[in-house]
Amino acid sequence: MTLLSMECAVCGVSAPLTCTRCRLVRYCNGEHQKQHWPKHKRCCKPFREEQDPALGRYLAATQDIQAKQIIFVEEPLVVGPKWFLTEGEKSATIVPCVGCFTPCRLGKHQCRNCHWPVCSVGCAHESLECSILSLGNAPGAKSDVRGQHDYFRHDALLVLKCLLLQRSQPERWKALLEMQSHEEERLGTELQLEAEQRIVSYLQQRFLRRLKSNTNKQNVLSDYEPELLHRLCGIIETNYMVIELATGVELSGLFRQACMMEHACQPNCYFQFDATTHRIAVRAGCDIKKGDHLKITYTNILWGTQMRQHHLRMTKHFSCRCPRCEDPTEYGSYVSAMRCLGDVSKTCDGLQLPVEPLNEQTQWKCDTCPMLVDAAYVTEVQTHMTEEVERLLAGSPTASEVELLLARLSQLLHPNHFHMFNLKHTLIQLYGHEPGLELVTLTDLQLGRKLRLCEELRNVCHRLDPHSIKLAIYVSVILIEIAHTLEEKARRLPAEAKLQLELAQSHLQQAEEVLEKVQDSVAGKKLNDRLQLDQFELDKLMLANNHSQTQTAV
Ligand SMILES: C[S@@+](CC[C@H](N)C(=O)[O-])C[C@H]1O[C@@H](n2cnc3c(N)ncnc32)[C@H](O)[C@@H]1O
């Protein structure tokens, strides 16, 4: 994907000059740049960097910004392999090429100098990085696989890439060290312990300490002490952004400006990557007013407040105080709400909500009876349910298995609770697709249930993310499934066919618009392909319906 037009903003010919302030608009000559300025100044670099004791550095709009407008585009300070690896990824036989990050088989091709895995013998990588990696004793391609996994720790490469900026790109190094690292908050935490074992001591023992005894390389780096490496781990953990390539490969990147955007549980910006240059484009997800902060979401906005807060505290070391976090109902979505079970003498239909949502130890109070429960009870129930839901969803369940768990959880949870949401989102994709449950075979009751579930889910998404900035994939799936259901209703009720088909068409158009935001992601592309087919099929259906109506009229 090319993020920016390469043509002159005035006459459209290929343009060599760029506006030096925002670097977003191009011109073929100075005359056209001058001519365009009265118009361009209304959107040229519409933000500035500011500082706040609680937030640190952040970005604020200096003028009104329209939805979808590109706010800025920037080069990465550093891009490297995925930062947070699951246990499975740590022991995978397919690993990123040390040169271009293309997935390659461990032991197939190796760099001639450092012996790290490469996609092909000709794929070169950065020479300084290669010379440091060549200080290690790489295991041979035929050696024990566990030994190879232990040696080729590609997540540690990201830290090495950061470290090498001190020599190769001093400007970027300076910008990197200005980033928030939360060094003090990390001291003694599990995150720091893990970083010590997996990254810091590994880089030190296998490569960096050997610099001292190597007369040619002694002065390559002025600082590679463990404290600096821990600081870099903190910077990465606090700031890294996930870059998803069209191939499905996930990389991690650090960006000077984009990483300054603060977190909010309802964001107003989103970003897209150029897979070739790894540049990032930050866009407005909705209209942004002058003075508003530019905000993205660092966590999963479908989680309830307690889980989001926990995740942000553990990884980013702050407590979010956005309006959603302060609202026990989370904008009326009730995604954390539990059902009140009443007491031994009386059952109750009320809902348990956190008294102080920002307090991890808060009590939960019923909105109908005086019943209070402790945070520990809620956490225990939630943890148990998380395990059950994850286990079920990991095993490609059938619709009836999902219905069973839903029925069980509905005794304890609000229908919109995030666990219920997850199960229902799976269910709408099973009704109409599961073998034996294709649309034509669904009973009217099942079809009606599918439609009701879709509407419930859409309502939750709208409350949490009214502009579908973070939930674009979820929302487009819901819209597409609504369209399928309406098409099937049209087939069953010829008298209403025209209306139902037009409604289906409008849902597919909405899905297309929502998908624009995620057009560069693998899931977004896949959904978009499916949407094109659906639109084609719907057009055919509409034509056939028009034709049969004309025939009837004649
Ligand atoms: C990606 S950095 C953002 C840039 C950072 N403020 C700086 O000065 O470099 C993330 C850190 O910014 C701070 N931060 C971001 N959003 C915040 C929020 N909503 N409330 C409090 N602190 C926030 C936290 O310290 C967090 O770990």
Kindly give the confidence (pLDDT) of every residue in the chain, 554 residues in length, as a single tens digit, with 9 standing for 90 and above.
455 678 999 999 989 898 888 888 889 999 999 999 888 887 888 999 999 999 999 999 999 999 999 999 999 999 999 999 999 999 999 999 999 999 999 989 999 999 999 999 889 899 999 999 999 999 987 888 899 999 999 999 999 999 999 999 999 999 999 999 999 999 999 999 999 999 999 999 999 999 888 777 778 888 999 999 999 999 999 999 999 887 788 999 999 999 999 999 999 999 999 888 889 999 999 999 999 999 999 999 999 999 999 999 999 999 999 999 999 999 999 999 999 988 777 789 999 999 999 999 999 999 999 999 999 999 999 999 999 999 999 999 999 999 999 999 999 999 999 999 999 999 999 999 999 999 999 999 999 999 999 999 999 999 999 999 999 999 999 999 999 999 999 999 999 999 999 999 999 999 999 999 998 889 999 999 999 999 999 999 999 988 887 777 66
Q: How far is the CA of 305 from the centre of ligand 1 (A)?
A: 18
Beta strands 262-263 and 295-296, pairing class: parallel
Q: Which atom of ligand 1 is nearest to the CA of 239?
A: 1
C-alpha 263 to ligand 1 mean position (Å):
7
| Residue 379 placed within a domain | yes
Dihedrals phi, psi of 392, to nearest 5 degrees: -65, -50
Query: Is 443 part of a structural domain of the chain?
Result: yes
Instruction: Show which of 353, 386, 418 is a domain's final residue.
Output: 418
Question: By alpha-carbon position, which residue is closest to atom 23 of ligand 1?
Answer: 55
> Are residues 292 and 317 located together in one domain of the fold?
no
Nearest C-alpha neighbor of 461 from the set 446, 476, 482, 483: 476
In angstroms, the CA 508 to CA 316 distance is 38
Residue identifier of the C-alpha nearest atom 7 of ligand 1: 57
pTM, to two decimals = 0.92
- Residue 253 Cα to ligand 1 midpoint, Å, equals 17
Return the ligand 1 atom nearest residue 260 CA: 4
Q: Clarify whether residues 166 and 243 are in a common domain.
A: yes
User: Does residue 56 have its Cβ closer than 6 Å to ligand 1?
Assistant: yes
331 CA to centre of ligand 1 in angstroms: 23
**Coil vs helix vs strand at 354:** strand
The best mutation among 185, 263, 311 to test binding of ligand 1, ranked by most ligand atoms within 8 Å of the C-beta, falls on 263
Q: Whose CA is nearest to atom 13 of ligand 1?
A: 55
Q: Is the CB of 299 under 6 A from ligand 1?
A: no
Ligand 1 centre to CA of 443 (Å) is: 51
- Split into its structural domains, the chain has a count of 5
| Beta partners for residue 373, in sequence order | 364
In this structure, which residue's CA is closest to atom 19 in ligand 1? 263
Which two three-digit tokens encode residue 269?
């910006």
Task: Assess whether 527 and 454 both reside in one domain.
Answer: yes
Hey, whose CA ends up nearest to atom 27 of ligand 1?
316
Residue to mutate (ligand 1; options 47, 191, 233, 238; most atoms within 8 A of CB): 238
Which amino acid appears at position 516 of this protein? E
Whether 154 is covered by a domain: the verdict is yes
- Which residues, including other chains, have CB under 8 Å from residue 32's CB and lie 6 or more apart? 8, 9, 10, 11
Mutate to test the pocket of ligand 1, among 55, 235, 324, 358 (most ligand atoms within 8 A of CB): 55
What is the whole-number distance in angstroms between the Cα of residue 313 and the centre of ligand 1? Answer: 11
Query: 424 in a domain, yes or no?
Result: no
Q: Are residues 286 and 305 in the same domain?
A: no
- 94 and 200 share one domain: yes
Residue 320 CB–ligand 1 contact under 6 Å: yes
Is the Cβ atom of 268 under 6 angstroms away from ligand 1? no
Measured in angstroms, how far is the CA atom of residue 54 from the centroid of ligand 1?
8
User: Are 275 and 193 within one domain?
Assistant: no
Ligand 1 and 54: CB distance under 6 A? yes
Question: Does ligand 1 come within 6 angstroms of the Cβ of 263?
Answer: yes
Q: How far is CA 185 from the centre of its chain?
A: 25
Do 455 and 475 share a structural domain?
yes
Considering the domain boundaries, does residue 426 fall inside one?
A: no
> What is the span of the domain harbouring residue 358?
300-418
How many whole angstroms separate alpha carbon 158 and alpha carbon 232?
Answer: 9
User: 97 with 63, same domain?
Assistant: no
Q: Where are the alpha helices (DSSP H) in 153-225?
A: 154-168, 170-177, 183-186, 190-195, 201-206
Residue 86 corresponds to which tokens in the numbers above? 């699951």
Could you tell me if 221 and 327 lie in one domain?
Answer: no
Q: What spacing in Å lies between the alpha carbon of 206 and ligand 1's midpoint?
A: 33
Is 65 contained in some domain? yes
The dihedrals phi and psi of 181, each to the nearest 5 degrees, come to -120, -15
**Any atom of ligand 1 within 6 Å of the Cβ of 57:** yes
Q: Which helix (H) or strand (E) holds 88?
A: helix 87-90
Which amino acid residue places its CA nearest to atom 1 of ligand 1? Answer: 239
Q: Are residues 142 and 245 in the same domain?
A: yes
Calculate the CA 44 to chain-centre distance.
Answer: 28
User: Is residue 352 within 8 Å of 320, Cβ to Cβ?
Assistant: no
Let me know if residue 423 belongs to a domain: no
Same domain, 392 and 539: no
Is residue 401 domain-shared with residue 545, that is, in the same domain?
no
For residue 361, the CA-to-ligand 1 centroid distance in Å is 24
**Residue to mutate, 231, 316, 317, ligand 1, most ligand atoms under 8 Å from C-beta:** 316
